[in-house]
Amino acid sequence: MRCFGDLVYLYDTTLRDGTQGEGVSLTVEDKLKITKKLDELGVHYIEGGWPGSNPKDLEFFQRIQEEPLKQAKISAFGSTRRVGTRTEDDTNIKALLEAETPVVAIFGKSWDFHVTTALKTTLQENINMIWDSVHFFKEQGREVIYDAEHFFDGYKANPAYALKTLKAASKAGADWIVLCDTNGGTLPQEIEQVLTVLRKEITTPLGIHAHNDGELAVANSLMAVRCGARQVQGTVNGFGERCGNANICSVIPNLQLKMEFRSLDSDSLRQLTEVSRYVSEIANMTPLSSQPFVGSSAFTHKGGIHVNAILKDPCTYEHMAPELVGNKRRVLVSELAGASNISFKAREFGLDILKDSESTRRLSSEIKELEYRGYQFEGAEASLELLLRRSMGQSGEFFNLESLKILVEKRPDNGGGVEIINSEATIKLRVGDQVMHTAAEGEGPVNAVDNALRKALEGFYPALKEMHLVDYKVRVLDGKDGTGAKVRVLIESADSTETWSTVGVSENIIEASWQALTDSMNYFLMRRQ
């Protein structure tokens, strides 16, 4: 069927099909940045957009001509000529031509239902439209990719006609014919059946463009390659309309590491996780932690039995080495953790804790008890590290509280009728042999405590001016207890080089906040020390 190491060409359509996904919007600058990143990765084709549809894409095609790319070919996307229009007079065709890209991707109808219902024309006119449009761009010296829209649905409804549309594109000189599962409802075995027929009928190289409505876009893309397709179209992180497109972050490692095809070199493959997160950041989309291969949870282990096994050999619970795609192995500590989890995390923190020691078992029991009480160390690894260090006699305490008083005053403003709320914290701290007694106001009681802490400590630890609060989250742990319920406070802090998270739990939100806040400061000072 193939030779070992066959090359599969990657066609990325994040900038066009990906932007049709809900919540995804890219500026021209965003599109240029992503283009450069994909080119560095080694993608063969990058679809920039539809120049006939909006001014943003027109500007992109103008500006990308000034950007030197290492290898990627830029493709402009558009439709065949309109019904009853001469190709050279069609506005969409003119816009594609004026984009001046080396590659043009033209989509046309393969489903007779769409021809008669959507285009309102004859089956023969649709064939003419395909042939005319492909032939026109070949005459202009362009590489032409013909996207057979709704091909698999069209083939199921009328295989003879669907095949006839492909032959029209092939005879007109198309360089690639890409089979589109536009509605995303085709099954892998149907892909196999159809491509088995097409390989005997079509000599033009084939590609696959799969949508994910049946959660099968990646599987269908891999099956198409197995059956002879040598171009895969998809998007970074699977962005796209409705349920998205084939996720190239899953397609690429499956092709190379599982099926032994070639698409990127091994050094480029190790950039895949970085590219995935870069595109999410540019698109202002939260990365999906559970995403295969590149997600932060893809090689994360929580159960004690699992961790015990991977410490002996990662192959016990990992299908591949995370480093191959630029990801990394993570171990979580929770109520499910055993001594192996603690030992792994200790080594990660640079601590020497023996897995089979009595102290490790006691620490495991303590963590399970704390998690039972509502603490969660998965998202608060700074608090976990402090806990481990304290268990080893490394206090991690840079100050001690002697007293804390908080005053919240609420009163009406008789002048304007708006209520005034003032928060003030008075704090007494001991640092070594010295005692600091000070007060500060804030926007709320927690902010007042934070300000008072900093005011008291910055004279001893000036570096505290460099850290700041990034996020503050409160979760009620058991709502049935009403206002007396326990709350969990998670605080994320940062300085110029890193971010870290800490946790506190109490029925009193101020106490829970105090725990998380002081852990955050102690962690920062410990790292600086």
CATH of the domain at 423: 3.30.160
Amino acid identity of residue 317, one-letter, is: Y
Mean pLDDT value across residues 296-306: 85
What percentage of the chain exceeds 90 in pLDDT?
74
User: Residue 492's domain is classified under what CATH number?
Assistant: 3.30.160.340
In a domain, 1, yes or no: no
Q: What is the pLDDT of residue 317?
A: 92
* Strand boundaries in 96-154, DSSP class E: 103-109, 143-149
Domain membership flag for residue 4: no
Quote the pLDDT of residue 192.
98
What residues make up the domain containing 434?
399-460
Question: Is residue 94 within 8 Å of residue 54, measured between CB atoms?
Answer: no
In a domain? residue 504? yes
Token pair recorded at residue 293: 């291969």
Give the mean model confidence (pLDDT) for residues 330-351: 72
Residue 291 domain flag? no
d(CA 21, CA 238): 9
Q: Per-residue pLDDT averaged across 377-406, rounded?
A: 85
Least confident of 49-58, 199-208, 370-379, 449-458: 370-379
Cα distance from N-terminal residue to C-terminal residue, the chain: 62
166 and 47 share a domain? yes
Shared-domain flag, residues 245 and 181? yes
State whether 83 and 179 are in the same domain: yes
Do 40 and 75 reside in the same domain of the chain? yes
Nearest to 473 by CA among 485, 488, 494: 488
What pLDDT sits at residue 3?
44
Find the length of the chain.
529
Give the residue ranges of DSSP H helices in 261-338.
266-269, 272-282, 304-312
* pLDDT value, residue 336: 60
Q: Say if residue 414 is exposed, middle or buried (CB neighbours under 10 Å; 0-12, 13-18, 19+).
A: exposed
Six token digits for residue 483: 């206002």
**What pLDDT does residue 1 have?**
39
Q: Does residue 2 fall inside a structural domain?
A: no
Same domain, 223 and 176: yes
The token pair at 346 is: 């200790």
Over residues 439-455, mean pLDDT: 93
Quote the mean pLDDT of the chain: 91
- Give all strands (DSSP E) within 219-310, no chain letters: 231-234, 300-301
CB neighbour list of residue 174: distance below 8 Å, 6 or more residues apart: 134, 138, 144, 145, 146, 204
Shared-domain flag, residues 367 and 389: no
- Full strand arrangement of the beta sheet holding 487-494: 468-476, 487-494, 499-506
Same domain, 239 and 277: yes
Q: Which one of 460, 487, 502 terminates a domain?
A: 460
With beta carbons less than 8 A apart as the criterion, state whether 337 and 346 touch.
no
Residue keyed to tokens 């202002």: 284
Residue 508: CB partners within 8 Å, gap ≥ 6? none
Task: Report the largest interatomic distance among the alpha carbons of the chain, rounded to a whole angstrom.
Answer: 93
Going by the DSSP 8-state scheme, the letter that residue 14 receives in this structure is T
Taking phi over 0 as left and psi of -120 to 50 as alpha, with beta for the rest, 418 belongs to beta
User: Quick check: is 413 in a domain?
Assistant: yes
Where are the alpha helices (H) located in 392-508, listed in sequence order?
445-457
Residue 392: per-residue pLDDT: 78
Does residue 311 have a pLDDT over 90? Answer: no
Question: Considering the domain boundaries, does residue 290 fall inside one?
Answer: no
Same domain, 212 and 63: yes
% helix, strand, coil for the chain, step of 5: 45, 20, 35
User: What is the count of structural domains for the chain?
Assistant: 4
Domain shared by 237 and 357, yes or no: no
Last residue of a domain, one of 252, 282, 312: 282
Task: Please tell me whether residues 110 and 258 are part of one structural domain.
Answer: yes
CA torsion sign, 252 to 253 to 254 to 255? positive
**Are 252 and 341 in the same domain?**
no
For residue 421, what pLDDT is reported? 86
Model confidence over 228-255: pLDDT tens digits? 999 999 999 999 999 999 999 999 999 9
Same domain flag for 184 and 229:
yes
* Domain end call among 282, 314, 344: 282
Low-confidence winner among 18-22, 90-94, 413-417, 419-423 (lowest mean pLDDT): 413-417
pLDDT in tens, 425-434: 999 999 999 9
Share of the chain above pLDDT 70, in %: 95
Task: Look at residue 41 in the predicted model and tell me its pLDDT.
Answer: 97
CB burial string 166-179: b at 16+ within 10 A, e below: bbbbbebebbbbbb
AA letter at 480:
K
Alpha-helical regions (H) of 19-69: 28-41, 55-64
Of these ranges, 116-130, 290-304, 381-395, 405-419, the one predicted with the greatest mean pLDDT is 116-130
pLDDT band at 334; cut points 50, 70, 90? low
Is residue 169 domain-resident?
yes
